[in-house]
Amino acid sequence: MSRSSSLKITRVGLLGLLAPSVAIYTFVIIVPLALSFYYSLTDWVGGPTKNYIGFRNYSLLVHDSLFWHSFKNNMIILALTLIIQMSLAFLLTTLFMSKALRLKELHRTVIFFPVVLSAVVVGFVWQMIYSHDYGILNSILRSIGLESAIRPWLDDPKIVIYSVTVPLIWQYLGIPLMIFVSAVHGIPKDIYESCELDGCTGFKKARYITFPLIYDTIKVVVMLCISSNMLVFSHIYVMTGGGPGTSSMVMAQYAYKTSFGSMQLGYGSAVTIGMFVISFGIVLIFKRLAEVRV
Amino acid sequence: MKVKLWKPMGMSVAALALGMSLIAGCGGKDATKDSAPSASGNQTEASADASSPAKAPVKVTFMNLWAKDSTENIAVTVRAELAKFKQENPDIVVVEESIGDQNAYYTKLKTLAASNDLPDIFISKGSELAMFAQNETVASLDDALGEDAAWKDGFLSTAFNDLSSGGHTYGVPFSMLATHVVYYNKQIFADAGFASFPKTWSELEDAIAKIKAKGITPIALGNKEQWVAESCVLSALGDRFTGTEWFTSINAKSGAKFTDPDFVKSLAALQNLAKAGAFNADLNSINNDQQKTLYFNGKAAMFMEGSWAIGAVSAAPKEIADNTEVAVLPSVEGGKGNARATSGGAGSGYAVGIKGYAAKKDAITKVLKAMSGESFAKSLAEKGEPAAFKVGEYDKSKVSPLSVKYAELASQLQFTPIYDSYLSPALTSVMNAGLQDLLIDAVSPEDLAKKIQAAYEKES
């Protein structure tokens, strides 16, 4: 019966084809996650002995002010990225759709270019930009007479978290932009034409036609943005190493530091699992919220 | 049913095999690379003696933090001794693995330790060694040292202090270093009206104010990697206030506290320097190489780093190198510590992974002796670097002028403990991060002391 149609696939055949990817996924995601969870229940500090201590690491984690501080930093980065990056990307998309913009290809390439750079390279470049004595940012400020605006960008605990967010927004601006542009290309031209006949132009076109029609795409982009920002690590590691003190510490770096800096592998695993639970929770909450609208 | 099932099952197995072989293919390279040093049994080396085919050479792996092309005195000396060793001992092959970046090196080391896969010989700090010893991943060298009294007694008496824990020795020292040395530009000090380095703390504060008034950064500090302020400044400054007994008591967990007024005073002194504008504004975002750059450009009057920086300073622009003098921090008012002291010691040494030690003890001991014994120490001393092994007469003609100045200074100094050589990595990381906050006035000395004390109590 299964041979009746070569195009039809049986349940078993489907499972058979899925098995390899599931196996790979299991090895690189599920197994490490399960192992991390197991380690998080021990007091492992890197030796041959691991003592089972139940959920003590987690009760420590809940009261760990540094972990919540890192979480807060993650949320600041996430909020800034969502607001600034998304709106910039949307704004640029409408610009790209307008006839006024010349050299679209060039603009697109230039904006997308940083995405392919390594995060570490971007971190180093921005560290130089922010440099107090030699940085281009401070020299620009100086040359236009804004000496009063010069700050130790990466040394002031009050502004450092914003300073490290800028490169993140800058580097990954290209991704939402690309996705938005291709989504907007998918909107049939006649809709725009008919709305123009009705006297709808510029901002109104973006608000009442483009936005609702690419709403689903926006949801996907926001989801991507959330998941990547919860894991941000390399930029900050390179630029400040979490400093000064712990003012620019994010969760991934805290996990790394406890695991490999202080060798508290058990507790470090608990931090990782905590990170996983929180990120997963935020994505779920967002999904719920997004379903309600329109 | 069976027949019907067979086809998809076969398909899945084939696809799985393909997928897995891809993964295995990726991992394959690493596996062969990693296992090469340890699989000494089934590999025949070209250098093996043809007349005794039964005896394959013993492979000893040696992981160090000197880049392959490093010109550091110690690296050059060790490599020269190893080359000599290779000719004298064809039956022992030393396989070197070098990682030049300190942070990366220690990350790799800790990861290897976590899987009990430490190399036969590696370089490690005392605090890490104590942790490895507790986890039973490093071998105690008591036997090896005990069997050769001439070798053991040849070392300076204090050389093993940093490398022992629980009454056992886990490391063989190679050099004696000070982590705190003040390198200062005597020209800038003279311009500010100081003929020599300040003798008292208030004089130093005065000098800092005067140098700052001339538009020069008094002290260049690059504390991005967080260890500089602690290892190169606070270890010495703290001792000025608390005296060494306090730290001995901290280390033995016998009563002293980080909240003791003396230690808090040392934190306050450090913060006061920062408040007085003694450091560059970006002290937490540049590293220790960049702090030297500030000094080399003549933009800073001094910087504090360990004796290892002598080589870099000697290679600095001539007018800077010629004007550089070395000193240590002056005495402080009411301090319990000796003012002619600096934090220092062996700091780190060669340690031995427990896995290889059981099978290759003799070969490993031979390599250790070649890299630490008299001939090594002598050639190190001739380059101007203080060795951990006592040396008699040696040729001083090639020693750089700054090394001579340092040797003169060091001979008058008493070495006190380097904090991060003794305190656990977890405690050190709390202290180091806290010092960054302290230096930008984001935490008060009292609160930081409480924080360090809390982390300290968590461990006992």
State the pLDDT at residue B404: 86
pLDDT band for B52, please (50, 70, 90 cuts).
very low
Q: Write out pLDDT tens, residues A155-205.
A: 888 899 999 999 999 999 999 999 999 998 888 888 888 888 888 877 788
Contacts of A21 in chain B (CB under 8 A): 19
Q: Per the structure block, which two tokens stand in for B234?
A: 């606070």
> Is the Cβ pair B426, A132 closer than 8 Å?
no
Q: Residues of chain A whose C-beta is under 8 A from some C-beta in B?
A: 2, 10, 12-13, 15-17, 19-21, 23-24, 27, 45-49, 127, 130-133, 152-157, 239-247, 257, 260-265
What's the complex ipTM?
0.74
Amino acid at B240: R
Mean per-residue pLDDT for B310-316?
A: 85
- What single string gives the DSSP state of each residue in chain A? -TTS-TT---HHHHHHHHHHHHHHHIIIIIHHHHHHHHHHTB---SSS---B-TTHHHHHHHT-HHHHHHHHHHHHHHHHIIIIIHHHHHHHHHHHHSSS---HHHHHHHHHGGGGS-HHHHHHHHHHHH-TTT-HHHHHHHHTT-GGG---TTT-TTTHHHHHHHHHHHHHTHHHHHHHHHHHHTS-HHHHHHHHHTT--HHHHIIIIIHHHTHHHHHHHHHHHHHHHHT--HHHHHHTTT-STTTT--HHHHHHIIIIIS--HHHHHHHHHHHHHHHHHHHHHHHHHHHH--
**pLDDT of the residue at A6:** 64
Neighbours of B246 (CB within 10 A): 21
Average pLDDT, chain A: 88
Label residue B297 by pLDDT band (50, 70, 90).
very high
The CATH label, of 3.30.160.60, 3.40.190.10, 3.40.50.720, 3.40.640.10, for the domain at B178-344+415-459 is 3.40.190.10
Q: Quick one: fold of A56-292?
A: MetI-like fold (1.10.3720)
Q: Nearest-CA distance from A108 to chain B in Å?
A: 33
> Given this structure, which CATH class describes domain B58-173+347-382?
alpha beta
Answer yes or no: is pLDDT of B71 > 70. Answer: yes
- In the predicted structure, residue B255 carries a pLDDT above the cut 60: yes
CB-CB contact of A237 with A20 (8 Å): no
| CB neighbourhood size of B253 (10 A) | 11
Model confidence at A287, in pLDDT bands (50, 70, 90)? Answer: confident
B15: which 2 tokens? 């696809």
pLDDT tier for residue A61 given thresholds of 50, 70 and 90? very high
**Tens of pLDDT, residues B206-254:** 999 999 999 999 999 999 888 899 999 999 999 999 999 999 999 888 8
Q: What is the pLDDT of residues B75-92, one digit of tens each?
A: 888 999 999 999 999 899
Question: What pLDDT is stored for residue B7 in this prediction?
Answer: 54
Q: Is the pLDDT of residue B6 over 80?
A: no
Whether A15 sits inside 8 A of B433 (CB atoms) is no
Q: What is the pLDDT of residue A194?
A: 87
Q: Tell me: the pLDDT tens digits for B377-405?
A: 888 888 878 888 888 777 777 788 888 88
Q: Among B22, B216, B285, which would you mutate to test the A interface (most chain A Cβ atoms within 10 Å of its Cβ)?
A: B285
pLDDT at B95: 92
**Residue B10 predicted with pLDDT over 70:** no
Nearest neighbour of A10 by CB, restricted to B8, B284, B440: B8
Per-residue confidence band for B9, with pLDDT thresholds at 50, 70 and 90: low
Predicted confidence at residue B271, as pLDDT, reads 95
Q: What does the pLDDT read at residue A23?
A: 94
- Give me the residues paired with residue B351 across strands: B122, B171
pLDDT of residue B2: 45
Residue A113 CA: distances (Å) to CA of A108, A151, B296: 8, 28, 37
Q: How, if at all, do strands B181-185 and B217-220 pair?
A: unpaired
Residue B297 vs residue A104, higher pLDDT? B297
Contact criterion met (CB below 8 Å) for B309 and B292: yes
B300-322 burial: b if 16+ Cβ within 10 Å, else e: bbbbbbbbbbbbbbeebeeebbe
Question: Residue with structure tokens 């200062």?
Answer: B184
pLDDT at A255: 93
Please report how the helices A174-185 and A160-172 are oriented relative to each other, as an axis angle in degrees rounded to 10: 40
pLDDT band, residue B34 (cuts 50/70/90): very low
pLDDT of residue B15: 54
pLDDT at position A293: 56
Region label for B271, one of left (φ > 0), alpha (ψ between -120 and 50) or beta (otherwise): alpha
Contact list, B27 vs chain A (CB under 8 Å): none
* Structure confidence at residue A104 (pLDDT): 83
Does the pLDDT of residue A7 top 80, yes or no?
Answer: no
Chain B: residue whose CA lies nearest to A10: B8
**pTM, rounded to two decimals:** 0.78
Give yes or no for residue B4 having a pLDDT over 80.
no
**Residue B124 pLDDT > 50, yes or no?**
yes
Residue of B nearest to A12 (CA): B8
Q: Give the C-alpha separation, B230 to B238, whole Å.
A: 9
- For residue A23, the chain B residues in CB contact (below 8 A) are 16, 19-20
pLDDT band at A101 (very low <50, low <70, confident <90, very high): confident
Q: Which residues of B touch A127 (CB under 8 A)?
A: 285
Among B41-50, B300-309, B321-330, B438-447, the minimum mean pLDDT is found in B41-50
Residues of chain B with CATH 3.40.190.10: 58-173+347-382, 178-344+415-459
Query: HEC states along chain B?
Result: CHHHHHHHHHHHHHHHHHHHHHHHHHHHHHHHHHHHHHCCCCCCCCCCCCCCCCCCCEEEEEEECCCCCCCCHHHHHHHHHHHHHHHHCCCEEEEEEECCCHHHHHHHHHHHHHCCCCCCEEEEEHHHHHHHHHCCCECCCHHHHHHCHHHHHHECCCCCHHHEECCEECEEECECEECCEEEEEHHHHHHCCCCCCCCEHHHHHHHHHHHHHCCCEEEECCCCCCHHHHHHHHHHHHHHHHCHHHHHHHHCCCCCCCCCHHHHHHHHHHHHHHHCCCECCCCCCCCHHHHHHHHHCCCEEEEEECHHHHHHHHCCCHHHHHHEEEECCCECCCCCCCCCEEEEECCEEEEEEHHHHHHHHHHHHHHHHHHHCHHHHHHHHHCCCCECECCCCCCCCCCCHHHHHHHHHHHHCEEECCHHHHCCHHHHHHHHHHHHHHHCCCCCHHHHHHHHHHHHHHHC
> Taking CB atoms and an 8 Å limit, are A127 and B285 in contact across chains?
yes
Band of the pLDDT at B55, cuts 50, 70, 90? low
Q: Mean per-residue pLDDT for B94-103?
A: 86
- Tokens representing B64 are 């160090």
The tens digit of pLDDT for each residue in A110-137 reads 999 999 999 999 999 999 999 888 889 9
Q: For residue B89, with 0-12 CB atoms within 10 Å meaning exposed, 13-18 middle and 19 or more buried, which class applies? A: middle
Share of chain B above pLDDT 90, in %: 44
Q: Which residues lie across from B414 on neighbouring strands?
A: B341
State the average pLDDT for chain B.
Answer: 84
Maximum mean pLDDT: which of A75-89, B9-23, B33-47, B166-180: A75-89
pLDDT at position A87 over 70: yes
Q: Report the pLDDT averaged over residues A126-154.
A: 89
What pLDDT, on the 0 to 100 scale, is given for residue B309? 87
Is the pLDDT higher at B308 or at B171?
B171
**pLDDT value of residue B54:** 52
Contact A260 B111 (CB under 8 A): yes
Nearest-angstrom CA–CA distance, A144 and A45? 54
Short-list B124, B129, B128, B126, CA closest to B162: B126
Which pLDDT band holds residue B256 (cuts at 50, 70, 90)? very high
- Cα distance between residue A255 and residue A247, in whole Å: 15
Give the highest mean pLDDT range of A280-284, B43-47, B69-73, B307-311: A280-284
- Shortest alpha-carbon distance between residue A242 and chain B (Å): 9
pLDDT per position as a tens digit, B417-453 = 999 888 888 899 899 999 999 999 989 999 999 999 9
Q: Can you tell me the mean pLDDT for A253-266?
A: 87
Q: Where are the domains of chain A?
A: 56-292
Nearest to A245 among B110, B285, B442 (CB): B442
How far is the alpha carbon of A244 from chain B, nearest alpha carbon, in Å? 5
> How many Cβ contacts (< 8 angstroms) between chains A and B?
134
Please check the confidence at residue A241 and state whether its pLDDT lies above 60.
yes
Q: What is the mean pLDDT of residues A262-284?
A: 91
Task: Note the pLDDT of residue A49.
Answer: 76
In whole angstroms, give the CA distance from residue A256 to residue A264: 10
What's the pLDDT tens digit per position in B353-366?
Answer: 998 888 888 899 99
Residues A143, A148, A151, A156, Cα dihedral to 10°: -170
- Best of A26, A262, A265, A271 to disrupt the B interface by mutation (most B CBs within 10 Å)? A262
**Range among A143-152, B142-151, B198-207 with highest mean pLDDT value:** B198-207
At B17, the pLDDT band (50, 70, 90 cuts) reads low
